[in-house]
Amino acid sequence: MIKYTARLIAAAKAHDPRLAAVRELCGTTNGTQTHNFDLANHSEGLDQWDDSHLWHIHLSLYRDSVSNLAALEGIADVFAGKPLDTAASTSSTPLTIGSSMYELIRVGPKGPVYAVSELAFVPISTTERWRISQKSALCIGNKTRIVNARERDVLKAEVGSRQANLKSVLGVK
């Protein structure tokens, strides 16, 4: 408990983008006091939650992230103690969530933004873009690759094909 809570608190304090889906968390970093962190307000406290959080870790997630596998993988990577990959790209802003590297693309100069990886094609909401840019100091507007609608559709189809192939290999329906 102590080790995992400490990892989460350290990542929260560092604005680790892998915790972008987390609203708040609570556990213990010493075994005797609860230790909570509110990521929305970037504030923390000791002994503000009940003692049940001495034996389990509480994570509150944003609703739009609950079924986002990449976001959940990022949280799992923090739990596992994996370091944040901060490799930079010259073509567009790289975004690491979990073990996957995403490229941010925008359809036209003011169109929707998507995070694209080998196996994911995820629309990024305005709120998520703000959270990502705040937590990882990314400048979404200047480092997002601009594509047209056709290029977006081709990328989406390629990702869909890779997902179908992987599901077939794994025997997943």
User: Which residue, 59, 64, 85, 60, is CA-closest to 5?
Assistant: 59
Q: Per-domain residue ranges for the chain?
A: 2-80, 94-170
- Tens of pLDDT along the chain (173 residues) come to 899 999 999 999 988 888 988 999 999 999 999 999 999 888 999 999 999 989 999 999 988 777 777 778 889 889 999 887 643 333 344 455 544 566 777 776 667 777 777 667 677 765 555 455 444 433 344 456 667 778 778 888 888 887 787 777 777 76
pLDDT tens for each residue of 54-75: 999 999 998 877 777 777 888 9
Burial class (CB in 10 A: 0-12, 13-18, 19+), 96: buried
Number of H helices, E strands in the chain: 5, 9
Q: Where are the beta strands (DSSP E) in the chain?
A: 22-28, 34-38, 43-46, 58-61, 94-97, 100-107, 113-116, 121-124, 145-147
* pTM exceeds 0.75, yes or no: no
User: Which tokens belong to 70?
Assistant: 């990449």
